[in-house]
Structure 1
Amino acid sequence: MQDLPLQRAFYWEKKRANSVYLSQPMGEGKIREWTWAQAMNEARRMAAWLKAQDWEQGARVAIMSKNTAWWIMADLAIWMAGYVSVPIYPNLQSDSVRQILEHSDSKLVFVGKLDDPQSMIEGIPRSVAQVGTPLCAIKTQESWESIVATTQPLQGKHTPASDALATVIYTSGTTGFPKGAMHDFAAFAHTSKALHQLLRGTQADRFFSYLPLAHVAERCLVEGFSLYTGAPVFFAESLDTFVQDLQRARPTLFFSVPRLWMKFQQGVMAKMPSRKLNLLLSLPVLGRVVRKKVLHGLGLDSVRFAGTGAAALPPSVVAWYRHLGLELLEGYGMTEQFAFATISVPGRMRVGFVGESIACCDVKLSDQGEVLTRGPAHMKGYFLNPEQTRDAYTQDGWLKTGDCGELDDQGRLRIVGRMKEQFKTSKGKYVAPAPIESKLAALAGIEACLVTGGAESHQPFAIVMLPEGRWSAMRNPGARSEFTSQVSAHVERINAELDQHEHLSFVAIVPEQWTVEAGLVTPTLKLKRNALEAHYRKHYDQWFKRGSPVVWHDHA
């Protein structure tokens, strides 16, 4: 058996024909399942229809949907037909949809489950054909069901070469228009083999797919690795059913981002105060029972690998999960590297570090401390952008990540911050915001935060967003006073650990939720710093004049 994703799919189609591969919630508690043979049959039928459109080899076909079984089947169909898939985040504005479809010159877009389908479909140019998959809430030109019902399956094993272009993945656009990273089929193979070296994945594993498949991490860790291992994939239905979906899947391999790990923690602490939970966990026999019960309630009791990435996770959160018996292993990667360059190894992990370089990626630091990487899973370049491709690499072929890093004596990497995110205060001192944000976000009750400053301020300060619904509770004077004291004490502890020029002068707490729809975070919940600073800059003077360590911004 070879390692390319389509080769693996053809292998499991025969080897595990009657084993369930995809499990899709259909609403009202109903679940639809596909065996490997059934999933490949649908993909083959769609591939035959796509191939009959007679587009040129390598033509781009987009997928615009939340994660569903049809997302993966569509991807397989696109590849079997000899085309290139272009994922689109399921929560973009119509203008962004149009930009990506036009830039990629996509011939067709699969439209699936979306929160605001009418808005997003308005971004599809008239020249781009549409195929609606089941759970798509609006009428499209063609439907998946009718095509599958009336088209004979494509026969044979249509396997592109390892260096053939498989997908164009557009970055999440924290600083402007996203760039399309081109990845070949070998990228899937190299990263899957590296994951297998670390995790020893088997057909008995279970994947839970809920982070956007349009993002490279879910594409690599769920789609790519499930194709490699032959293990089943379970999908989430909605936020309302998320915990039930997770309990149904009981994944063995589970990856999440810091903001969601912290939400899980806050959910547990809302039901059981931290002091009581710690007391119960400290008891020899009862502690084991409580650990199992808490993890079972989260749907994480079967997890043998728990990964985290995309941003720094506060050490206190890592310690909290470890106390529950779940070791959160941090990793690091980018779209350009096909998801990951380093991973923390069980038994060798170090809190605050993102692990060691993986088998298919070399890592080093430039003289300026920038993290440089290279390897066979790296992108072939940016689509239709040779100038940005040249700028992304050093003259000797190392990818310039834009991240500042440090390596310890065992080769473990710590990300200090983004080169471009560092700012200079009016005192002429540079501040890296990410490490300070990680410390600040460790306080329960803080959902997200931004550390900023610049030439107009002597010291950096922070803007804080509360969890959804928490602002209303803070209208109670007693609750606000108590939380203000907690934040003040927390900032004092943080400042004691920082250099003088890094000390936070104050924290401004704002009422808004930072959402994708508002343009303040990316679809993967990364902060759009420029957008956030532009949104709040007009209030900076007012906040400074308050002269308070904690400022409540009561007016949106």
Structure 2
Amino acid sequence: MTKKKHYQLPLERLKILVHEHGDEVWLHQPTNRVWAQYTFNQVYDSALRIAAGLKAQGINTGDRVAILAKNSAYWMIADFACMLGGFISVPIYATAGEDTISYVMEHSDSKAIFVGKLDDGTAADAVLNATNVIALPDYNLENRIPDHRWHDWLLRYEPLTDIHQAAADDTLTIAYTSGSTGKPKGVVLSHINLAAAGHDTADLLGAGDSERRVLSYLPMAHITERSIVTMHSLYKRLTIYFNEDLASFVEDLNIAKPSFFMTVPRLWAKFQSQVLSVIPDEQLQEMLKGEGGEAVAAGIRAKLGLNECSAFGSGTAPIPPGLLKWFRGIGIDIGEGWGMTETSGPACSNLPYHAERIGSIGVPLPCTDMKISDEGEILIRGTAIFKEYYKNPEATAETFIGDWMRTGDKGIQNEDGSFSIIGRVKEQFKTGKGKYVAPVPIECLIGAVPLIEQVCVVGSGRGQPMALAVLADLGTINKDDVRSIISSAVAEMNAGLESHCRIDHIHICDEAWTIENNMLTPTMKLKRDMLEAKYRHIIEGETKELVGWS
């Protein structure tokens, strides 16, 4: 049972930081490669003025206010403005399409929306015609003149004096799920939910009060980024740098010199591909074993911009244990973690790092309890667990068994107390032989092959499972070599699998799966239904060779 503990609420922590560190720099915001700095005092003053601006528009306590923008200092300030005014923030992914933006705005009854920089503003231009739009300083929509502008409000309004006194169970935000299985659900999260997640995540990523640095680049609309960045920064000293765009990512990483780095499995795979495109893995492994191996590993970490990191993490989707072991060889010990929007972000983690727990998601955070149901599903409860789905009592009732939340993940608890994910309850499929297959463990095995960057195991109704795969960019390598390497790896893998789980075909796709082509959610999870629809002719067709191409 989780121990009941007192957590200071986010607004309490914000006021303490402003009082104790007011003139210190908190946020670093790049614009056209010029960096602006914002102190705690400046963030607080701006948030109070923006909150006053919202009040002046007739927005009242409990009203919803959406945020549609890429990560920035302004995103964070808008979020704090909502808290200070007693409004409920509704983040929308910056990559969201027209249908999602319209659905979230309508379903949440949002009275206004902050809009900032978007890589593609087409969807927002199309659906924000009748909405109360507040332009952040980096607003770049071409066809929608905003109703209000950020800098105008900072000049026009005095700081809000009637600051909202939040109770622990008051709603702080409605975070919509990424919609991998149908319409997004609005997850109602309270101030105490985010307090518990932020506090325990901050403890997880390092001890003491020494100042830490982070690069914010994963979407702030996703609850994990808000836990490990925004909320973390309220409970431990954390200087935040924002990534300006994809082209400047490596440069921004080197400027930030992060103390910890959390990302998704696909980016870890890309990092590996970058290294192996310069030096073949066999040669690299020999160098790492040699006398100068530590210097080689340090050089690679420096090139990746991770030479000052003391903690590394991976989440949102399973990561192949083989990839974790490869990174351990260059001195990057990645702690795999697990969480959901409904758990306010990270809920279980292999941090502090334990090498013997590779392949697991580690142990629960102090604010949560976890167990395995009789059906093999992971159940969770605790202070960070969400209150309800907004306007969806049926889904809420289906999700809870007493005070235990059903996660939808199948798992096991290991002898050392750690947990391992073995798939999603609803992702299992039945082959034509009537046998059930869980795709995730097989995907982790295939994903450990350095040639493969993305993989999805399918096979409902087929005689045997097969895999769709996207190759990593490793420079010039011919198809015969690819076929030979993958065939050998699959043969070795199949030898260790039960007969009904063995792969009989791997189809190499000619197009990477991205958010833009609707094959990935905004959090980089596979959209299995979209992949199966796109490649149905391959899945249902005859496959004679073990490895084939589009």
The TM-score normalised by the length of structure 1 is 0.94
The Cα of 1:156 is off from its aligned counterpart by 6.6
SS state at 2:535 partner:
helix
Residue identity in the other structure for 1:332: W
Letter in 2 for 1:532: L
User: Is residue 540 of structure 1 aligned with residue 539 of structure 2?
Assistant: yes
Q: Which residue of 1 aligns with 2:546?
A: 549
Match of 1:20 among 8, 21, 25: 25
Aligned to 2:294: 288
Give a deviation string over 1:95-118, Cα, whole Å, max 9, x none. 110000000000111001111113
Q: Deviations over 1:48-76 (max 9, x none)?
A: 11122232321000000111110100000
Matches for 1:190-205 after TM superposition, within 5 Å: 190-198=196-204, 199-200=206-207, 202-205=209-212
SS at match of 2:482: helix
Partner of 2:43: 39
1:66 aligns with 2:70: yes
Does structure 1 residue 175 correspond to structure 2 residue 181? Answer: yes
For the residue of structure 2 that corresponds to 1:11, the secondary structure is helix
Query: Unaligned 5+ residue runs, structure 2?
Result: 1-5
Once residues 259 and 173 of structure 1 are traced to their aligned partners in structure 2, the CA distance between those partners, rounded to angstroms, is 19
- Secondary structure in 1 aligned to 2:71? coil
Deviations 1:202-229 (A, max 9, x none): 3511121100000111011111101221
Q: Read off the aligned partner of 1:136 and give its amino acid letter.
A: Y
Aligned to 1:159: 165
Bigger Cα displacement from structure 2, 272-281 vs 203-212: 272-281
Is contact 1:4–1:189 with CA below 8 Å preserved after alignment? yes
1:347 Cα deviation from its structure 2 partner? 5.3
1:323 aligns with 2:329: yes
Q: Write the deviation string for residues 334-367 of structure 1: whole angstroms up to 9, x where unpaired.
A: 1111112211143545111000111011101111
Question: Can you list the C-alpha shifts for 1:16-60, whole angstroms capped at 9, x where unaligned?
Answer: 112111111111x21111111111111111011112223232100
Once the two structures are superposed, the pairs formed by residues 76-115 of structure 1 within 5 Å of their partners are 76-115=80-119
Q: Which moved more, 1:148-157 or 1:227-236?
A: 148-157
Residues 288-367 of structure 1 correspond to what in structure 2 (within 5 A)? 288-346=294-352, 348-349=354-355, 350-367=357-374
User: Which residue matches 1:520?
Assistant: 519
Q: CA deviation at 1:157?
A: 5.0
Gaps of 5+ in 1: none
CA contact (8 A) 1:10 1:157 kept: no
Write the letter of the residue equivalent to 2:262: F
Q: How does 1:441-460 map to 2 (within 5 A)?
A: 441-455=447-461, 457-460=462-465
Query: Which residue in 2 is equivalent to 1:5?
Result: 10
What is the aligned length? 540
Give me the whole-angstrom Cα distance separating, in 2, the residues matched to 1:203 and 1:160.
29
* Aligned equivalents of 1:36, 1:347: Cα separation in 2: 32
Q: Which amino acid aligns with 1:76?
A: F
**C-alpha distance in 1 between matches for 2:468 and 2:439:** 12
Query: Contact 1:92–1:517 at 8 Å: present in 2 too?
Result: no
CA-to-aligned-CA distance 1:497-545 (integer Å, 9 cap, x gap): 2111000010011112222222211001100111111111133343x2x
Q: How far apart are residue 280 of structure 1 and its match?
A: 2.8
**Aligned partners of 1:332 and 1:341 also within 8 Å:** yes
Kindly indicate whether the alpha-carbon contact (under 8 Å) linking 2:63 and 2:111 is maintained by their aligned counterparts in 1.
Answer: yes
- SS class of match (1:373): strand
Shift of 1:245: 0.4
CA distance in 2, matches of 1:143, 1:347: 45
State the Cα deviation string for residues 236-295 of structure 1 (Å, max 9, x = none).
Answer: 1111110110011111121111111111111122122223332332234x2232222211
Tell me if structure 1 keeps the 8 A contact 2:519–2:526.
yes
Q: Deviations over 1:270-329 (max 9, x none)?
A: 122223332332234x22322222112111111111111112211221112211212100
Is the contact between residue 91 and residue 174 of structure 2 (CA under 8 Å) also seen in structure 1?
yes
RMSD of equivalent CA atoms: 1.7
| SS of aligned partner of 1:527 | coil
1:115 maps to a residue whose letter is D
Between stretches 174-183 and 198-207, larger displacement belongs to 198-207
- The whole-number CA distance in structure 2 between the counterparts of 1:321 and 1:493 is 22
| Superposition map of 1:430-445 within 5 A | 430-445=436-451
Identity %: 38
Q: For residue 3 of structure 2, what is the aligned residue in structure 1?
A: none
Q: Does the CA-based 8 Å contact 2:85-2:163 persist in structure 1?
A: no
1:538 maps to amino acid: H
8 Å contact 1:17–1:35 — kept in the other structure? yes
Contact 1:98–1:125 (8 Å) recurs in 2: no
Task: Give the drift of 1:141.
Answer: 1.7
SS in 2 for 1:58: coil
Structure 1 residues 381-460: aligned runs within 5 Å: 381-394=388-401, 396-455=402-461, 457-460=462-465
Q: Distance in 2 between matches of 1:20 and 1:68?
A: 15
Question: Which residue of structure 2 aligns with residue 137 of structure 1?
Answer: 140
Which residue of the other structure, out of 464, 469, 473, is the alignment partner of 2:469?
A: 464
Bigger drift between 357-366 and 137-146 goes to: 137-146
In structure 1, distance between residues paired with 2:330 and 2:149: 46
C-alpha deviation, 1:121, in angstroms: 3.0
In 2, the alpha carbon distance for the partners of 1:203 and 1:44 equals 28
Change (3 A) 1:2 1:450: closer
What is residue 489 of structure 2 aligned with on the other side?
A: 490
Work out the CA distance in 2 between the residues paired with 1:123 and 1:536.
31
**Superposed CA offset, 1:71-92 (max 9, x none):** 1000000111110000000001
Give the direction of change, closer, same or farther, for the CA distance of 1:159–1:290 in structure 2 (3 Å limit). farther
Could you tell me how far apart the structure 1 residues matched to 2:310 and 2:302 are?
Answer: 13
1:201 Cα deviation after fit: 5.7
Give the structure-2-normalised TM-score: 0.95
Per the alignment, residue 509 of structure 1 pairs with 508
